[in-house]
A and B are shown apart, each in its own frame.
Chain A
Amino acid sequence: MSSAGSLQGEAAARDPHTPSPTLDRPDDYLHAQSTLRSWFLTTDHKRIALLYLASITAFFVVGAVAAGFVRLALVVPDGAILTNDTYNKAFTIHGVVMVWFFLIPSIPATFGNFLIPLMIGAKDLAFPKLNLASWYVFMTGALFTLAAVVLGGVDTGWTFYAPLSTAFSNTWVLPALIGVTITGFSSILTGLNFVVTIHTMRAPGMTWFRLPIFVWTHYATSLIFLLATPVITLALILLIAERAFHVGVFDPAYGGDPVLFQHLFWFYSHPAVYIMVLPGMGVISEIVPAFAQKKLFGYRFVAYAAIGLASVTFFVWGHHMFVNGQSDLASLAFSALSFAVAVPSAVKVYNWTATIHKGSLRLDTPMLYAMGYIGLFVLGGLTGLYLATLAINQHIHATYFVVAHFHYIMVGGTVLAFLGGLHFWWPKITGRMYSEPWGRISALFIFIGFNVTFFPQFILGYLGMPRRYATYPPEFQLLNVLSSAGSTILAAGYLFPMVYLVHSLWFGRRAPGNPWDAKGLEWETASPPPPHNFAGVPRVPEVPYDYPIQAPETGRQHT
């Protein structure tokens, strides 16, 4: 295994059915059938992934437009552009749609669905019909909620805190809650499918420590889906029961406990942050070695770190309630445990950096996104430690500092990873190459626009501007205008890919099976893959990330 060329030759020899990139391929999964029915009743994990991709892109647009209204309103301090009520409804649309219908399904439901069977050498997920059903469940819940928040309007924020949501809000809270509850089942079914698939469907020779990190992080994510989602389902059912039938346990009018809702809510919603972050880490762990042409540094540590993050995240929910009258002891414990999250996160970041060291780097679009991801994730993660520090939290809790922090994690993290992955696997998914210059330009726009939008919000937060404010004191205007200006750059950066990626579907260059000289079973089949993924049973290489440049590997002797 010394040079890229010989590996290429070997890969081609392994799979003699890889068609030449210039031929039309009517037998690939995209062209095998073409009726509408063959899309909406498909059980092919790749087609279901595309159904998800189309739907979450639509939801992303809705959420982004709402964010645009929010930033527009905040250009002036006195609320002259949107009334308080409209502003509150706009940020609720943004939060609800982005969290529940874009971020949570984003990478798992699209790339996870598409790639897990390919990466482990399976023909499909273990339960293909269940996979299709979970898309329908997702769409049912999503459209229900979308109708409620867009047509009716809901003003509780995505957090639905009781008793505001159960007794005081006069908006369409109930349908929104029902829709979110339904969507939860889609998460559970997807997670269940992934866990079972990764356990039982691996190709012969695909041992656990030969799995790509992408599969490891999705395994960890699926565990969170399975273990945390039922708790939010329960919390939402209790909320629905309380709002609709006055059957509930949160309303203090009956001696109930509104903080109990926060506990149940964050017991899910903090792990949900890792539902959003872990798959992104998986994507970056694939992109970085491919574009450094170097074996991933410390494979086993990175794999264990994914499981470690998924475990620690279940024990830190109380850091959302430091100022809510929680006992000192609980606050101390949750603060200390939150600091522990830094350990597995540091493992990831330093290992990616070490992988780049002495690599042979190509700075194509996916790699630009990956490098942007590392920078923004580091900032987002460390500002998370600020928030976990009790005395600092007492000042910046529920201010714009929090808003900036979680946007660095969710946009800087999840969205950049999503876009990086989209460009990385676009040739595999569609069989076409996108426009590289446009890709790099939009990556740059997004990176700059993102930082101009959200960095000022760290300062605003420390200055003491509370979040979810439709009006604000005039001394905060300058930074708010700067933030809004940045969001227009960010919006342009989002628009470019929607144009040039769609354009490439018809006019892009045909993609070869492995345009990046990347390793992993998904690159050993044709682009796009045939309906059952592989022409024969794929041969699993002995070492994961077997790139030309080696890296020290602590666990290699065991594989």
Chain B
Amino acid sequence: MSADPAAAGPVGVTRAEHFATVGQQRHAATLGMWAWLLTELLLFAGLFLTALILRLLHPEAVQAAAGHLKFWIGAANTVVLLCSSLTMSAAIELSRLGWQRMMVGCLVATASLGALFLALKGYEYYADYEEHMMPFLARRPYALAEQPATRLFVNLYYVATALHAVHLLTGIAILVGLTWKASRPGFLQRHQNWIEVYGLYWHFIDLIWIIAFPVLYVVNR
């Protein structure tokens, strides 16, 4: 690990051995995250496309099933995630300025908002359970059993939201680790770009929910 001249200031990046310049390294990290997000987008795109196809195939069933979704919890969660994106953006700006302590505060706020989202989501799942809206539970009667096609939409809703929740959970876990590292002295001199690259991922999780909410909750109301 050789220190680059650029790393001398309060904010910078240490060059890894196989890169020629720090600029190259930053470019590679950013591009790598974008490429990853592209594949993630396609993963979810297939799911949302399937949801829309289902709506075309079985419009009444989809509407009957979507009527049981908790619209206001979904809406509240949308607001929660938008706020978390705001605090994440603030953390990135602060990291560029080198204000480490405030940046760590913003990261903690971001992780907390993410956890709040999961808590609300968990409550929503619990409410679904109470309403007998879990058709894959063999021993629990299903509320819309007389409309078999509703199962498809409900199942897809669980796959999509669970996959999103897994992404968010992973995101929070990484964020907690990152926050712990970022609170160490000298972090911003060595790894400022970690915050920027991670921010892309967080905004992406937000984006997926922003697509999922209308596709699952709003258009079927």
Residue on A nearest B42 in the bound complex, by CB: A230
B32–A256 touching, CB < 8 Å: no
A238 and B156 alpha carbons, distance in the complex (Å)? 9
The 0/1 profile, CB within 8 Å of A marked 1, for residues 1-45 of chain B is 000000000000000011110001001100110011011101100
Question: Which chain A positions have C-beta within 8 A of B42?
Answer: 226-228, 230-231
* Chain B residues engaging chain A, CB cutoff 8 angstroms: 17-20, 24, 27-28, 31-32, 35-36, 38-40, 42-43, 46-47, 50, 53-54, 57-58, 61, 135-136, 138, 148-149, 151-152, 155-156, 158-159, 163
B155–A192 touching, CB < 8 Å: no
The 0/1 profile, CB within 8 Å of B marked 1, for residues 227-238 of chain A is 111110111011
B53–A188 touching, CB < 8 Å: no
A255–B46 touching, CB < 8 Å: no
Question: Which chain B positions have C-beta within 8 A of A191?
Answer: 35
Shortest distance in angstroms between B143's beta carbon and chain A's nearest beta carbon? 15
A257 and B39 alpha carbons, distance in the complex (Å)? 25
Q: Which residues of A, 231-255, contact B by the 8 Å Cβ criterion?
A: 231, 233-235, 237-238, 241, 245-249, 253-255
A234–B43 touching, CB < 8 Å: yes
A231–B46 touching, CB < 8 Å: yes
29 CB contacts below 8 A, A to B, read A123-B18, A126-B32, A188-B36, A188-B39, A192-B35, A196-B32, A196-B35, A199-B27, A199-B28, A200-B24, A200-B31, A227-B38, A227-B42, A230-B42, A231-B46, A233-B43, A234-B47, A237-B163, A238-B159, A245-B136, A246-B135, A246-B138, A249-B152, A255-B151, A256-B152, A260-B53, A264-B46, A267-B46, A532-B18
Shortest distance in angstroms between B94's beta carbon and chain A's nearest beta carbon? 27
A434 and B43 alpha carbons, distance in the complex (Å)? 44
B155–A199 touching, CB < 8 Å: no
Residue count of chain A within 8 Å CB distance of chain B: 44
Question: Which has the most chain A C-beta neighbours within 10 Å: B32, B58, B158?
Answer: B32
B31 touches which one: A188, A195, A247, A532 (CB < 8 A)? A195
Question: Which has the most chain B C-beta neighbours within 10 Å: A124, A200, A254?
Answer: A200
A201–B57 touching, CB < 8 Å: no
Question: Which has the most chain B C-beta neighbours within 10 Å: A130, A188, A228, A247?
Answer: A247
A200–B27 touching, CB < 8 Å: yes
A257 and B57 alpha carbons, distance in the complex (Å)? 9
The 0/1 profile, CB within 8 Å of B marked 1, for residues 97-126 of chain A is 000000000000000000000000011101
Shortest distance in angstroms between A237's beta carbon and chain B's nearest beta carbon? 7
Question: Which chain B positions have C-beta within 8 A of A494?
Answer: none
Question: Which chain A positions have C-beta within 8 A of B156?
Answer: 249
Known contacts A237-B163, A246-B136: does B17 contact A230 (CB below 8 Å)?
A: no
Shortest distance in angstroms between A232's beta carbon and chain B's nearest beta carbon? 9
* Interface SS of chain B: helix
A227 and B45 alpha carbons, distance in the complex (Å)? 11
A128 at the interface (CB under 8 A from B): yes
A192 and B151 alpha carbons, distance in the complex (Å)? 36
B39–A249 touching, CB < 8 Å: no
A235–B39 touching, CB < 8 Å: no
Shortest distance in angstroms between B163's beta carbon and chain A's nearest beta carbon? 7
A496 at the interface (CB under 8 A from B): no
A127 at the interface (CB under 8 A from B): yes
A33 and B193 alpha carbons, distance in the complex (Å)? 32
Question: Which chain A positions have C-beta within 8 A of B47?
Answer: 234
Question: Which chain A positions have C-beta within 8 A of B148?
Answer: 253-255
Shortest distance in angstroms between B37's beta carbon and chain A's nearest beta carbon? 10
A238 and B47 alpha carbons, distance in the complex (Å)? 9
Question: Which chain B positions have C-beta within 8 A of A249?
Answer: 50, 54, 152, 155-156
Question: Which has the most chain B C-beta neighbours within 10 Å: A124, A191, A199, A230?
Answer: A230
Known contacts A226-B38, A227-B38, A231-B43: does B149 contact A128 (CB below 8 Å)?
A: no
A476 and B49 alpha carbons, distance in the complex (Å)? 44
A407 and B67 alpha carbons, distance in the complex (Å)? 51
Question: Which has the most chain A C-beta neighbours within 10 Å: B57, B58, B159?
Answer: B159
A255–B152 touching, CB < 8 Å: yes
Residue on A nearest B61 in the bound complex, by CB: A255
A227 and B43 alpha carbons, distance in the complex (Å)? 9
5 nearest A-B pairs in the assembled complex, by CB-CB distance: A255-B149, A230-B43, A124-B18, A230-B42, A123-B18
A192–B28 touching, CB < 8 Å: no
A122–B18 touching, CB < 8 Å: yes
Question: Which chain A positions have C-beta within 8 A of B155?
Answer: 241, 247-249
Shortest distance in angstroms between B51's beta carbon and chain A's nearest beta carbon? 9
Shortest distance in angstroms between B139's beta carbon and chain A's nearest beta carbon? 12
A186 and B166 alpha carbons, distance in the complex (Å)? 19
